[in-house]
Structure 1
Amino acid sequence: MRAIWKGALTFGLVNVPVKVYSAIEDHDVPLHQVHAADGGRIRYQRICEIDGEVVPYADIDKAYDDGERTVVLTKDDIASLPAERTREIDVVEFVPSEQIDLLTLDKPYYLEPDSASPKAYVLLRQTLERTDRTAIVRFTLRQKTRLAALRVRGDVLVLQTLLWADEVREAAFPSLDEPVKISEKELELSASLVDSFSADFDPHRFTDEYQQELRTLIDAKLDQGDALDTSETFGEREEAGSGEVIDLMAALRASVERSRAARGEDVGDGAEDKPAKAKKKASKAS
C-alpha cells in the first residue's frame, strides 16, 4: 500500500506521527463507454465554452457562482486556507463507541505509526480498547475539512470519516405516522424467523454475485462473440414474485418452515417458535 497522507495525530500534548492509507479498494470490473453503432470509444474533453479550446487539467481552476457574480478560486487561493496547510489529526473528544451512528460512517483509512518508536501509537490504541471509547477527530484531506471517528481494528488504528450532521437527511414518512397494531403471535413468529437465520457474521462467506456474473459474461463474449446465448451461460431466468404479502401470519409461518427445513431442523407444525415453546414448558412446570 502507498500512503496518501502523512501527519500527526494529536490529543492534549501527545503527538503521534502517522501515515494514512486507504483501507478499501474497488473490485468492480472496469468498463468504459462506446458508440453502439461501431464500438468507437467515447471520450470526454474539457472544452472552454468561450474559445472552444480543449483545456489541460493543469490550467483548470475552481469558481463559485451565486447567480449574479462569479468568483474564480485559483490553486494558490485554495492552498492559502489555514485548514489546508495543517498536517494534524486533532482529537476533539472521546465518546462512548455505541453513540456513533452507523449511518454517518463514510470512508475508512488505516493509520500506521511513523516514528522510530510506536509506543505512543500503541498506548492510544490500548486506551481506546480499555475505555471502550471512540475518538472524534478533525483533519483536512484533499482540500476538505473532515470529521472522523478514530477506533481500533485488531492491532491497527482506523480513521473513518463521518458525514456532517447537515449531510444526513431526516426520515419523515407519512405512512409511519399512523399507529400499527402488532399481535404477540406475530412478534413470536417474527422472532422465531430471526432465530432461524441467526449466525455469527463472517464477511468472507459473501461475494459480489453481480461482478462475478459480469466477469463470466465478459469471458463468454470474448470466447463466443456476439453469438453468445446468455440463457446457456446463466440458465433460464426466474420470474420474481410480486412481493405483496396477503397474509402476514401465513407468510411468517411459511418462512419459518422454509428456513428450518433448509437448515435440516425438525419443522413440526411450523407455527410454534422457541419463545412459545418455552412458555408451554414453564406452564407445565408450574
Structure 2
Amino acid sequence: MGTSSPPRAVWTGAITFGLVVLPCRLYTATEEHAVRLREIHKADSGRIRHRRVCEIDGQEVPYEDVGRGFELADAGVVPLTERDLERLPLPTRHQVNVLGFVPADDINPIRFAKPYFVAPDGEAAQHAYTLLTTALAHAGAVAVSKVAIRTRERLAVLRSRHGTLVLHTLLWPDEIREPHGLVPATPVTEREMRLAIQLIGELAGVDTDELHDEYREALEQLVDAKIAGGQIEPPPKPQPVDDLLAVLEESVRSARRTRQGGPSH
C-alpha cells in the first residue's frame, strides 16, 4: 500500500496580534475536481500544445529558464530574481499582521476568496495557537489581517473552525463590483411575500455534504452516446410562468407533499 506524502506549506511566517508572535505555516484548504477538456485541432482531433516562446529570438524556452520581471511604462522590463523578491520591503511577506477583531457576521461573504489551513510551526507555537483558536471561537469573532502570499498582498480574516485556525483571503473593496442597473425595483404583494416565506420554510434544511458534482457523469453519458453514434436530448429549460401567485401556491403544496413522503406532483 502506498503512503501519501504530507501536504506542502504554501507560506511560512508568523501571526502577530498585540505583542504575541505565533510561528505558523499555511496549507491549501481546498482542491478542485473540475473536468478538464483538452484543446484539439478540429480538423483531425490532434492535441493542441502551448509552448513558451521568447518574443525577441523566437526560440522555445524551457521552464527552468523562465524568470519574472516588472514591466515599466515605457515597455521596458526590470528582471526580478527570487532573491530580489525575498528582500521586498513588505512586512506581510512573512507575517500575518492582525489589525483587529470584528464579529464574524460583519464580513460580507462576497469578499471571501481562498481558504488556507493554519498550522503552528514548532512545538513552542502550539500554546499560542490553541489560545487564539479557542478565543476566536468563544468570542464569535474573526481577526482582520493582512498577508502577502506569492505575488500579492491580501486582506484576510483568521477564524476558528472545529479547533483549527483557518485563514480566508478577502477581495479588496475595489475588487467588488456593484450590480448597477441589473436589478430593477419591482413591487410584490403581501400574499406573494407570505407564500415565498412559507416556501422557504417548507424547503428548509439541506445537507450539503450529501451533494456532489454531476457534470462528469453527464459528460460521460454524452461521450458514450457519441461513441455509439447516438444522441442525448438535453433536459428541458425551465420556463417562467406569468402567474407568479399560482406558481408559489403550487410550489408550497408540492414541497409539503415531498416533505410528508408523498409524490411531488
Which bracket does the TM-score occupy, shorter chain normalised? 0.7 to 0.9
Q: Which residue of 1 aligns with 2:247?
A: 251
Deviation at 1:239, TM superposition (A): 2.1
CA distance in 2, matches of 1:89, 1:207: 34
Structure 2 unaligned segments of length 5 or more: list them.
1-6
Q: Which residue of 1 aligns with 2:3?
A: none
Q: Are 1:151 and 2:159 an aligned pair?
A: yes
- Residue of 138, 145, 155 corresponding to 2:146: 138
- Secondary structure class of the residue paired with 1:212: helix
- Residue of 76, 81, 89 corresponding to 2:88: 81
Q: Which residue of 1 aligns with 2:102?
A: 95
CA distance in 2, matches of 1:209, 1:79: 43
Q: Are 1:23 and 2:29 an aligned pair?
A: yes
Q: Which residue of 1 aligns with 2:115?
A: 108
Instruction: Using the aligned pairs only, state the percent identity.
Output: 37
Amino acid in structure 1 at the alignment position of 2:78: V
Contact 1:136 1:148 survives alignment (8 Å): yes
Q: Which residue of 2 aligns with 1:240?
A: 237
Q: Map residues 39-188 of structure 1 onto 2, 5 A cutoff.
A: 39-57=45-63, 58-66=65-73, 68-75=74-81, 77-83=84-90, 86-117=93-124, 118-173=126-181, 175-176=183-184, 178=185, 180-188=186-194
Q: Which residue of 1 aligns with 2:9?
A: 3
Amino acid in structure 1 at the alignment position of 2:147: F
CA distance in 1, matches of 2:193, 2:147: 46
Encode CA deviations 1:117-159: one digit per residue, 9 max, x unaligned.
4111000011101111100111111121111110011010000
Higher helix share: 1
Encode CA deviations 1:187-212: one digit per residue, 9 max, x unaligned.
1111111111011x422121111123
Query: Would the alpha carbon gap of residues 131 and 70 (structure 1) be closer, same or farther in structure 2, given more than 3 Å must change?
Result: same
Contact 1:78 1:84 survives alignment (8 Å): no
Deviation at 1:92, TM superposition (A): 0.9
Amino acid in structure 2 at the alignment position of 1:45: R
CA distance in 1, matches of 2:32, 2:242: 41
Query: Would the alpha carbon gap of residues 130 and 174 (structure 1) be closer, same or farther in structure 2, given more than 3 Å must change?
Result: closer
Deviation at 1:165, TM superposition (A): 0.7
- Residue of 33, 37, 41 corresponding to 2:39: 33
- Secondary structure class of the residue paired with 1:185: helix
- Secondary structure class of the residue paired with 1:193: helix
CA distance in 2, matches of 1:174, 1:217: 35
Structure 1 unaligned segments of length 5 or more: list them.
268-286
TM-score normalized by the length of structure 2: 0.86
Aligned length: 254
Q: Which residue of 1 aligns with 2:228?
A: 227
Contact 2:67 2:79 survives alignment (8 Å): no
Question: How large is the Cα RMSD of the aligned pairs?
Answer: 2.4
Query: Would the alpha carbon gap of residues 230 and 155 (structure 1) be closer, same or farther in structure 2, given more than 3 Å must change?
Result: farther
CA distance in 2, matches of 1:39, 1:161: 40
Q: Which residue of 2 aligns with 1:274?
A: none
> Between Structure 1 and Structure 2, whose CA radius of gyration is higher?
1
Deviation at 1:12, TM superposition (A): 1.2
TM-score normalized by the length of structure 1: 0.80
Contact 1:84 1:144 survives alignment (8 Å): no
